[in-house]
């Protein structure tokens, strides 16, 4: 549903804090429907404290500390690599549900249909 460049970012948040630092995963991943908010799937896919970008955001005051306590009961991908693989699978031929979600986001963000969203 997103641009391939955005899916390429997701695996950078996998692994240890050292792995994340080496991959350059230093900025929090924004929500695609509300870019001023964090992506709840990104925050909730593992213990939020394990995300270096989230901890950096809290330490600089750009992210509220409550984000470190976020939990969800919604099933999520267990890693950025899994989410990436799923997202890239149908990139060339999005499902009807994905096309409907794209139309919704275009409408919510006031984009023209052929204008790409900013990568996270």
Domain boundaries, the chain: 4-109
- The pLDDT value given to residue 82: 95
- The pLDDT value given to residue 112: 65
- The pLDDT value given to residue 120: 41
Q: Of 41, 42, 52, which Cα lies nearest the Cα of 15?
A: 52
- The pLDDT value given to residue 81: 95
Interval 36-75: pLDDT, tens = 899 999 999 999 999 999 999 999 999 999 999 999 999 9
pTM: 0.76
Contacting residues for 106 by C-beta, under 8 A, at least 6 apart: 112, 113, 115
- The pLDDT value given to residue 72: 94
What is the DSSP-derived secondary structure letter of residue 65? G
């Amino acid at each position: 549903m997103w641009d391939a460049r955005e899916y390429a970012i997701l695996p950078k948040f996998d692994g240890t804090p050292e792995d994340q630092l080496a991959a350059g995963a230093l900025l929090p991943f924004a929500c695609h429907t509300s870019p001023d908010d964090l992506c709840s799937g990104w925050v909730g896919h593992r213990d939020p404290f394990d995300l270096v970008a989230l901890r950096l955001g809290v330490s600089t005051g750009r992210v509220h500390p409550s984000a470190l306590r976020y939990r969800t009961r919604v099933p999520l991908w267990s890693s950025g690599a899994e989410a990436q693989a799923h997202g890239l699978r149908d990139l060339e031929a999005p499902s009807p549900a994905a096309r409907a979600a794209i139309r919704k986001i275009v409408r919510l963000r006031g984009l023209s249909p052929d204008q790409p969203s900013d990568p996270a």
